[in-house]
Structure 1
Amino acid sequence: MRHLLHPLLTSEYAMQTVVNASPRSSWPSFPWLGQGVSGAVSHMSKFPFRRLENRLIFGDLPGIALQEDDTDKADLLSTYVASYLEEEILREAIIRQWDAFVRFLKLAAVDSGNIVNFSSLSREAGVSLPTIKSYYQILEDMFVGFTVPAFSGSPHKSALTTPRFFFFDNGVRNAAADIPLVESSINADPGRFFEHWVAGQLWSALSYTKVGRLLYYRTSDGAEVDFIVQTNHELIPIEVKWTDHPRQSDIRHLKTFIADQPSRCARGYLVSRCPYVLDLGNHITAIPWWML
């Protein structure tokens, strides 16, 4: 199947959609990125630096990010989702109930980042449970989104097992969900927009480096870790907080997870809006969003 992001790529910046390069000249040496990545993407430093709020609404696709005017970004994203995205899915996939799929696409975008509730989506879209699952597979096969499985190595029996699903790019997700494409839209729930964006950054880096897989952890009694990078040698828990002043309360779940996995987990990270790297103790480091 063709990559559905094709019309929003340019030859100069096509690699950007895979690695979502930092505005810095190189990647930080986080353990899950492996060696040699900074050299592979160092030419990306000329990609224009943009405010975080702008990225959370319009995403990072080059064909969008290179537009200087936000109105042009919004128009291009809306046109892409309303015409090219749906037309290409219709052309490439065997879908018998097209109206139901269009309803599903919006519902999946609205729900993007959450634990998937297949039964609820089945009722709202008016199709069977197997059909909903096949629709998600179509989105994944056509690079519109990706699945984040649940971590299964917890000693707690209450750990959830249903996956989360994310659209590949914040801008595409927001347009598909009919979220107004203006920066003020993030005010209602900035943490969710931020977490969605971080998921895309982590998934892109792991897809490029092939050094691990992206998971999440949550229990029925409320314990959770937003993301876990699982490599052959270790587990790296990651929390995401919309704050510029990380506190100890922000890392309580990280500390618990590290304590529960003493043989496989030696460090954790908190991604936030802090202006510089902070040592929070307990082998946990807070890092600024722009270091991803």
Structure 2
Amino acid sequence: MIERAIRPHLEAHLRSNKVLVLTGARRVGKTVLLNQLADAFDGPKMMLNGDDLSTAELLNDRRVASYRRWLGTTELLLIDEAQVIPDVGRALKLLIDSFPNLTIVATGSSAFDLTNRTGEPLVGRQLLYTLYPLSQLELSATETYPQTRDRLTDRLIFGSYPDIVRAEHIPDRVDYLKGLVSSYLLKDILLFEQIRNAQKMLQLLQLVAYQVGNEVSNDELSRQLQIDRSTVVRYLDLFTKVFILFRLGGYSNNLRKEVTKSAKWYFFDNGIRNALINNFSLPNQRNDIGALWENYIIAERLKRNAYQRSQAVPYFWRTYDQQELDWLEEENGQLAGYEIKWHTNPVRYPKAFRTAYPEALLQTINPNTYLDFIA
């Protein structure tokens, strides 16, 4: 069993009299982690599932006496798939306010349907966490260095969902990813946002998949899909809330020619990206290996920073005359810029950046140097 990096942070608050909200994409291991938290807790506990209608009935009878009847001496209440329970936030608030020895862990498969439903009623009473597909930070604890290097190709092509990491055969991985895309990827959006045009949403994801590493124009996406620009913006926002995509904005501090309004989009998992474009070819057989490598490194860095509670704010950097850096972090006033390259040739860093930010750290992330950056 691979230890999830977020688990110690959750265990440290299991007697906090707060609601620990754990979000993340479907199939990343939230239920497994919930069971591990239950096993590790040495006090009275109860596990509920939001998909069970009786759970909604228990929570919707919003009387303290009713809650006391079925809670008994419970000190840890774990609710899986909490997002499907109507008005779950108010129920959780009443529970936490009424039972000072109670802590609640609630999971959900998207940000908009769980945190929005628990949001306002739980201000000051909740702690938010996100579980991602397996990170190299987590995998490194179970692998030797040669094993990690040998498995790099697999992670570039098939990603790191837990079931993918466990699957031994390539056809099984391909089938799993295609099933994930067709059956689960948009499930929360279609269910909770009442959107009917799943085909346009998949087409939008495919267009973004082909533009990984490049700045994305909402107007161009709108023209290609023949839908309103506002619809494109809304769909992209929803994709972030179900942990398919994340946005990277441009950095600027003191150069008038720096680009700040554009955005780049990346996938949380390479396997999902490759499934969308139906390309599982090996790195030496494809013309998008640079984009694939960039997406992998940036997603892994994002996971690593999140799990280590880094306060670094990420950006990309580019000028209007096309000088650019793939990844930039600012933390406590210190800048660090990174070029992410699949090749291992020497890299020349942008002169404009070196001139404008002479104190910034500059580094190249390639297959020889990447592990220290992401793990």
Same-fold call, TM cutoff 0.5: yes
| Distance across 1 between alignment mates of 2:133 and 2:354 | 32
1:12-57 CA-to-partner distances (Å, cap 9, x unmatched) read: 69966374416544xxxxxxxxxxxxxxxxxx55897343222111
| Distance across 2 between alignment mates of 1:151 and 1:193 | 23
| Distance across 1 between alignment mates of 2:174 and 2:284 | 13
What value does the CA root-mean-square deviation take over the aligned residues?
2.9
The alpha carbon displacement at 1:93 in A equals 2.3
Alignment of 1:124-143 (within 5 A): 124-143=224-243
Q: In the alignment, is residue 267 of structure 1 matched against residue 267 of structure 2?
A: no
1:199-256 CA-to-partner distances (Å, cap 9, x unmatched) read: 1012112222241121001122110000101112211101111123x31xx1322x64
Count residues with an aligned counterpart: 255
Equivalent pair of 2:134/2:162 in contact (CA under 8 Å) = no
Q: In the alignment, is residue 252 of structure 1 matched against residue 272 of structure 2?
A: no
Alignment of 1:2-41 (within 5 A): 3=23, 5-9=25-29, 11=32, 17=133, 19-21=135-137, 24-25=140-141
- % identical aligned pairs: 24
Q: Structure 1 pair 86/23, CA: closer, same or farther in 2 (3 Å)?
A: closer
SS of 2:325's partner is strand
The alpha carbon displacement at 1:139 in A equals 0.4
Structure with bigger gyration radius: 2
Which residue in the other structure is 1:202 paired with?
301
> Partner amino acid for 1:257?
F
| Distance across 2 between alignment mates of 1:129 and 1:45 | 45
| Distance across 2 between alignment mates of 1:2 and 1:99 | 29
1:79-104 CA-to-partner distances (Å, cap 9, x unmatched) read: 10011113332113232533322322
| Distance across 2 between alignment mates of 1:168 and 1:160 | 23
| Distance across 2 between alignment mates of 1:125 and 1:185 | 31
Q: Which has the higher mean CA deviation after the structures are superposed, 191-200 or 147-156?
A: 147-156
| Distance across 1 between alignment mates of 2:361 and 2:156 | 27
Equivalent pair of 1:21/1:45 in contact (CA under 8 Å) = no
Q: Structure 1 pair 243/112, CA: closer, same or farther in 2 (3 Å)?
A: closer
> Partner amino acid for 1:7?
R
SS of 2:186's partner is helix
Q: Structure 1 pair 163/291, CA: closer, same or farther in 2 (3 Å)?
A: closer
| Distance across 2 between alignment mates of 1:117 and 1:2 | 32
Q: Structure 1 pair 52/251, CA: closer, same or farther in 2 (3 Å)?
A: farther
| Distance across 1 between alignment mates of 2:266 and 2:352 | 26
Which residue in the other structure is 2:77 paired with?
none
Which residue in the other structure is 2:265 paired with?
165
| Distance across 2 between alignment mates of 1:2 and 1:128 | 33
**Out of 97, 101, 126, which is 2:201 matched to?**
101
**Out of 138, 161, 164, which is 1:64 matched to?**
164
**Out of 241, 246, 263, which is 2:341 matched to?**
241
Equivalent pair of 1:158/1:221 in contact (CA under 8 Å) = no
Q: Relative contact order (C-alpha < 8 Å, sep 6+): which is higher?
A: 1
Q: In the alignment, is residue 145 of structure 1 matched against residue 145 of structure 2?
A: no
Equivalent pair of 1:2/1:142 in contact (CA under 8 Å) = no
Q: Structure 1 pair 153/124, CA: closer, same or farther in 2 (3 Å)?
A: same
Q: Structure 1 pair 123/15, CA: closer, same or farther in 2 (3 Å)?
A: closer
* TM-score under structure 2 length normalisation: 0.61
Q: In the alignment, is residue 227 of structure 1 matched against residue 327 of structure 2?
A: yes
> Partner amino acid for 2:357?
Q
The alpha carbon displacement at 1:272 in A equals 0.6
Unaligned runs of 5+ in 1: 26-43, 275-286
Q: Structure 1 pair 79/69, CA: closer, same or farther in 2 (3 Å)?
A: same
| Distance across 1 between alignment mates of 2:144 and 2:29 | 16
* TM-score under structure 1 length normalisation: 0.77
